[in-house]
Structure formats: C-alpha cells, structure tokens
C-alpha cells in the first residue's frame, strides 16, 4: 500500500542547475542539471503530491522525464504565470532560490493540472513537429527576400529553398513514421483525421503538443489552448471578453482547422453562421467556433469514437 502524498515541490530550472523548494523545509536545495543530479532530485522528492516545474525553453524536459520515471506527478507551468503570481503576491525579488519558492507557493495556491506521462515516442514527435514549423518559417523568410533580391542572390535563395523543401519532405515522412510506430498515437491520429478540417499536420501538432486532449475537462482544455474568453469587468461596467495565453502553436493549428471546418462541416458552419447572424464580429465568431471544435475533439478522444456529423450537429 502506497503512503499518502502530503507535500508539494517547486523547481526552478536553468541550464546548469535545479533549485528545489520542498513544502515544510526552509532551505532551497540545488542539484546539478545532469543525469546524476536529476536522479538525486527524483529520490529527494519521492512521495510528493505534485512537483511543479517552470517551462524553461526545453531545459526542463529531462527533469520532467526523470521525475515521471520515478512515479512523481508533475505539472509544467508557463513562466509568465509564475511571474504574474509573484507580482500579485508582492514577491518582486528574482533569484533562482526565490523563484523556486514562488513556484512552490504557486503550486499550493493554484494546484496546476498534472501533465500526462511523456514517452520517448511523443518527445521525438514533438521535436519533429517543431522542426517542421522552423523549416516553414525559414522558407517564408527566404521567399520574402526573393521578391527584391538581385539575380545573383536570387539563385542562392533558390538553392536554399530547394534544400528546405527537401528537408521538409524528410521531416513529414519521419512524423508519419513516428506516429505509426506508437499504437496509442496512431489510434489518436486515426480519430483526429475523422474530424473535418484536421489533416495529417494538424493531427501531428495536436498529438505532440496537446497530450492532455481527451484527458481533461472542456473548460480547462479551452484555457490551455487559449480560446477561453477572459472577462474584463469592473463594477457595473462590462468589458469585451478576450482570449489570452495558451499554447500558440496549438491555437494556430486549430485556427487553420476551423477555417476549413466552417466550409466543410455542417455542425461548425451552422454554429458560426448563427453567431454571425446574431451580430457577432467575424473574429469573435471564429474564436467561438475554434472553442467548439476543440471541445468536440476532446469528446471524441475521451469516448474513442470517430466524428459523426449527425451527432455533432445536434451538440
């Protein structure tokens, strides 16, 4: 029988070090951010109710994996959330030890959601999806330069574009193989491809960068993606709702999928048209359609059932 988990942990991550604040202990302990240090950290926080790690440009991923391998529940939070929480709490100083304590206080106050287990296949897929996005961004930049480039430079740009195109083809093939190699990811892909507007690329982005999909409630999911309306009210004044935060790359993929779904899915098309007929601006109606689509997808993955237009039309 497992002992009850009774304490929380906050970890500030840098390239070289891990500063760790443990609930009930005064001192912040520092570990090296290497294999030995991460193993020692995992042993030191064994039995924690939740370990909260601040996202730090990828330096946190090895730590997250080490903690998960040791069966510790982990939450990864956006640095902006931590800094906003620190300012709201009156903690204006910033050092690694102070940050670790702020993350611990954030963990106790906000209790962020635990992330699903991250396996090697998903990590590899996420890296490939990121690389694909980088290649496209580089190709767009080169095409913009090509417009005003003299002939000699245009030839060089053309060579770069050809190389980027070739690498993009290899990355697309590698993404397909990475998904096919993992039965769980392949099953999720097959369900996602039944959704109007979701293609191979959109499915890969959702699988790699939104692993919580199908495992959390709709409101948390909308906030996680960044399509939940945020209130701006004060007293009797009611401000316009806006979206904020969330995972920009996922939201971009969802945006493109929704544009397509508005054309080819009666359920989404009818929903969008109803909002426009009610006087909602196009942007507001589109964001609402994005929110509806991701919630529908969440339900599909929860139930492990493909998209059914008749059922979705009745939602």
Whether 258 and 291 share a structural domain: yes
Place of tokens 């930049």: 141
The predicted structure's pLDDT at residue 255: 94
Nearest C-alpha neighbor of 89 from the set 99, 74, 76, 75: 99
pLDDT digit string (tens) for 216-272? 889 888 888 888 765 444 454 444 555 556 788 899 999 999 999 999 999 999 999
- Does 194 map to a domain? no
The predicted structure's pLDDT at residue 239: 46
Whether 100 and 131 share a structural domain: no
46-19-67 Cα angle (round to 5): 30
- Does 160 map to a domain? yes
Whether 11 and 100 share a structural domain: yes
- Which residues, including other chains, have CB under 8 Å from residue 276's CB and lie 6 or more apart? 282, 285
> What mean pLDDT is predicted for residues 148-173?
94
Whether 94 and 139 share a structural domain: no
Structural domain that includes position 172:
120-181
- Does 161 map to a domain? yes
Of the three residues 87, 110, 133, the one that is the final residue of a domain is 110
The predicted structure's pLDDT at residue 35: 94
Total tally of structural domains belonging to the chain: 3
Whether 303 and 211 share a structural domain: yes
Cα separations (Å) of 181 from 84, 177, 190, 286?
A: 41, 6, 13, 35
φ/ψ (deg, to 5) at 230: -100, 130
Decide: 204 and 172 in contact? Cβ < 8 Å. no
Place of tokens 């440009």: 57
- Does 12 map to a domain? yes
Q: What is the share, in percent, of the chain residues with pLDDT greater than 70?
A: 90
> What mean pLDDT is predicted for residues 119-147?
91
Decide: 268 and 310 in contact? Cβ < 8 Å. no
Taking phi over 0 as left and psi of -120 to 50 as alpha, with beta for the rest, 54 belongs to beta
In order, the DSSP letters of 108-121 are: HHH-PPPPPP--HH
Nearest C-alpha neighbor of 246 from the set 273, 274, 270, 227: 227
Of the three residues 181, 210, 231, the one that is the final residue of a domain is 181
The per-residue pLDDT of the chain, averaged, comes to 88
Whether 234 and 159 share a structural domain: no
- Does 191 map to a domain? no
> What mean pLDDT is predicted for residues 291-306?
94
Give, to the nearest 10 degrees, the angle between helix 218-225 and helix 282-303: 130
- Does 163 map to a domain? yes
Q: What is the domain-level CATH number for residue 54?
A: 3.30.420.10
The predicted structure's pLDDT at residue 45: 94
d(CA 42, CA 73): 11
Comparing 178 with 308, the larger pLDDT belongs to 178
- What's this model's pTM, rounded to 2 decimal places? 0.72
Whether 237 and 262 share a structural domain: yes
Whether 275 and 219 share a structural domain: yes
Alpha-helix runs per DSSP H in 21-119: 35-44, 61-69, 79-88, 96-110
User: Would you say residue 81 has pLDDT above 90?
Assistant: no
Of 4-18, 80-94, 250-264, 284-298, the one with minimum mean pLDDT is: 80-94
Nearest C-alpha neighbor of 13 from the set 72, 76, 83, 70: 76
Whether 169 and 232 share a structural domain: no
Half-sphere exposure in the Cβ direction for 65 (13 Å, CA)? 14
pLDDT digit string (tens) for 182-216? 999 999 999 999 999 999 999 999 999 998 899 88
- Does 88 map to a domain? yes
How many other C-beta atoms can be found within 10 angstroms of the C-beta atom of residue 277?
9
Comparing 131 with 92, the larger pLDDT belongs to 131
pLDDT digit string (tens) for 22-68? 999 989 999 999 999 999 999 999 999 999 998 887 788 889 989 99
Of the three residues 92, 110, 128, the one that is the final residue of a domain is 110
Q: Can you give the length of the chain in residues?
A: 315
Whether 100 and 125 share a structural domain: no
- Does 263 map to a domain? yes
């Amino acid at each position: 029988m497992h002992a009850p988990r009774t304490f929380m942990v906050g970890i500030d991550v840098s390239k070289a070090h891990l500063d760790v604040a443990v609930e009930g202990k005064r001192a912040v302990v520092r570990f090296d951010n290497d294999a030995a240090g991460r193993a020692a950290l995992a042993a030191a926080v064994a039995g924690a109710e939740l370990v909260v790690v601040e996202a730090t440009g990828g330096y946190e991923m090895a730590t997250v994996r080490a903690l998960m391998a040791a069966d510790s529940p982990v939450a990864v939070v956006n640095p902006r959330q931590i800094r906003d929480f620190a300012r709201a709490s009156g903690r204006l100083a910033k050092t690694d030890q102070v940050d670790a304590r702020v993350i611990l206080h954030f963990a106790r106050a906000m209790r962020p959601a635990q992330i699903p287990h991250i396996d090697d296949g998903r990590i590899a897929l996420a890296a490939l999806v990121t690389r694909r996005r980088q290649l496209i961004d580089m190709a767009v930049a080169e095409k913009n330069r090509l417009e005003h480039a003299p002939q000699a430079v245009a030839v060089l740009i053309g060579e770069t574009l050809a190389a980027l195109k070739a690498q993009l083809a290899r990355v697309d093939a590698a993404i397909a193989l990475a998904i096919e190699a993992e039965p769980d990811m392949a099953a999720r892909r097959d369900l996602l491809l039944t959704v109007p507007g979701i293609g191979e690329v959109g499915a890969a982005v959702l699988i790699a960068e939104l692993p919580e999909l199908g495992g959390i409630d709709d409101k948390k999911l909308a906030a996680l993606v960044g399509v939940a309306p945020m209130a701006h009210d004060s007293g009797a004044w009611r401000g316009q709702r806006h979206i904020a935060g969330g995972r920009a790359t996922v939201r971009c993929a969802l945006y493109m999928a929704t544009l397509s779904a508005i054309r080819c899915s009666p359920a989404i098309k009818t929903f969008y048209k109803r909002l426009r007929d009610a006087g909602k601006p196009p942007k507001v109606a589109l964001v609402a359609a994005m929110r509806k689509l991701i919630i529908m997808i969440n339900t599909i993955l929860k139930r492990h059932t493909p998209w059914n237009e008749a059922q979705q039309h009745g939602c």
